Amino acid sequence: MDGENDRMNDLPRRAVFRTAKLATLPIGLAGRAALGFGKRVGGRPAEVVAAELQARTAEQLFKVLGELKGGAMKIGQALSVFEAALPDEMAGPYRATLTKLQDAAPPLPIAAVHGVLTEELGEDWRACFRSFQDSPTAAASIGQVHRAEWADGRQVAVKIQYPGAAEALMTDFRQMSRVARLATSWVPGLEIKPILQELMDRLHDELDYELEAESQTRFAQAFRDDPSFVIPQVVRATPRLIISDWMDGESLSRVIASGSPEERDLAARRYMEFLLAGPGRAGLLHADPHPGNYRLTGDGRFGILDFGAVKQLPEGIPVQVGRLLTLALQEDARAVVSGLREEGFIKPTIDVDPQELLTYLAPFLEPVRPETWRFSRPWLRGLFAYLNDVRRPQWSVGLKLNLPPEYLMIYRVWSSGIAVLCQIDGEVPVGEVLGRWLPGYEPAVSPGSASSPGPGEDGS
């Protein structure tokens, strides 16, 4: 079999094969539901049957989305951050399975790895390294990472894009609408179609590793020598290869699974700070917030990886976001409605009662009011339940709100980010963090108090 055929087999991407694989998700769910009904009729307890169905569905989900890599796995990663919203009785099997999609996927064959290195660095690619580990340290949706020692002796991470990744992504996104209804059933209130569309819109950027390297370099320069954050420097980049400084540390996924209270609090604070600080300092929003991209380093800093998904925000987060949040906390209902209209969140032809709007927004403002707030799974589940409770008088208010295109990525990142914060289960001084990093936000401060500088400004 020649090299081209080998590459074809590296990443299952043929349309018929991938379509058939993805089609097994809703078909499998329906089959297991029918089997479960039969077991209940046969006398087995309903809760036992339900647990079996959930565990098997979770197992199949990881098997299909994980093994296909490409867009299927990327969609799984995007959905996995919302596991914190799952009900307690479902959380076990789904959490264990979906969370795997945040860090791992079946690795490429060694021959395929060497083939990419040859194409990107030349036949003498080994001369670039003192050593190269053939076994990957991480494997994700469109690429995997190997540890190596660069020619000058530094430890580096070598990120290799899977052969056929572009074709696999396009095939998957065309087919994943088939499982949209299934995905919505995992998390009540979750709409997968906007997630799919937003992921499709940035496919080209994510496949261009040279563009990703440029974004990583901008972040690294903006946070150079920061006492709170660390971003690896890029050593070399090609269209399908990024080599950057190696970074040790505890994965945020490990902190979520078994972190101490102190680790959780630190990770949650730094995670929230970075999402806010990036646009202001680098002019970029890091738009891939799942836990596999973050580390707690041995020196107490917060490390960030993977810059394939970013949004250009040269002026930082829009100042109107902070201003509207301030007005909402001050309960200036008419000013909030006026501001939302100006930004396009309420269309000119739509009438919204100002007081009903504030009532509708109240649960979203909860984390900002106290001195500190613990983001937790129960709180997120309650928020999803609140959004879907049609019995509430203010339920229809949400239907009147519009999401302007320029805010779509910001909204998607922050909704995912809140879900990750609830997985971390850490306590954060939310108002203090917003006061440091959110433009236009004016926290209520007591007379004589001074605002605190952001990370990197006071050496703490």
Determine how many CB atoms are found less than 10 A away from the CB of residue 201: 12
Over 90: is that where the pLDDT of 65 sits?
no
- Break the chain into its structural domains and give their ranges: 3-103+174-200, 250-460
pLDDT-based confidence at 150, cuts 50/70/90? very high
Q: Which pLDDT score is estimated for 403?
A: 85
Mean pLDDT of the chain: 77
Distance CA 252, CA 326 (A): 31
Q: Which pLDDT score is estimated for 376?
A: 94
pLDDT-based confidence at 355, cuts 50/70/90? very high
Candidates 254, 240, 213, 233; CA nearest to 102 is 254
- Which has the higher per-residue pLDDT, 265 or 381? 265
Task: Provide φ and ψ at 234, rounded to 5°.
Answer: -80, 130
Distance CA 298, CA 288 (A): 23
Q: Which pLDDT score is estimated for 233?
A: 97
pLDDT-based confidence at 188, cuts 50/70/90? very low
Q: How many residues does the chain have?
A: 460
DSSP letter string, 213-267: HHHHHHHHHHTTT-SSEE-PPEEEEETTEEEEE----EEHHHHHHH--HHHHHHH
Distance CA 142, CA 207 (A): 8
Mean pLDDT lowest among 190-199, 222-231, 286-295, 349-358: 190-199
Mean pLDDT lowest among 330-334, 345-349, 385-389: 385-389
Candidates 140, 64, 63, 59; CA nearest to 94 is 59
Q: Is 286 helix (H, G, I), strand (E, B) or coil?
A: strand
Q: Which pLDDT score is estimated for 22?
A: 42
DSSP summary character for residue 453 = P
DSSP H or E segment with residue 40: helix 15-41
pLDDT (mean) for 93-100: 54
Distance CA 246, CA 147 (A): 7
DSSP letter string, 73-109: HHHHHHHHGGGGGS-HHHHHHHHHHHGGGGT--PPPP
- Look up residue 134 and give its two tokens: 């053939």
Distance CA 87, CA 377 (A): 9
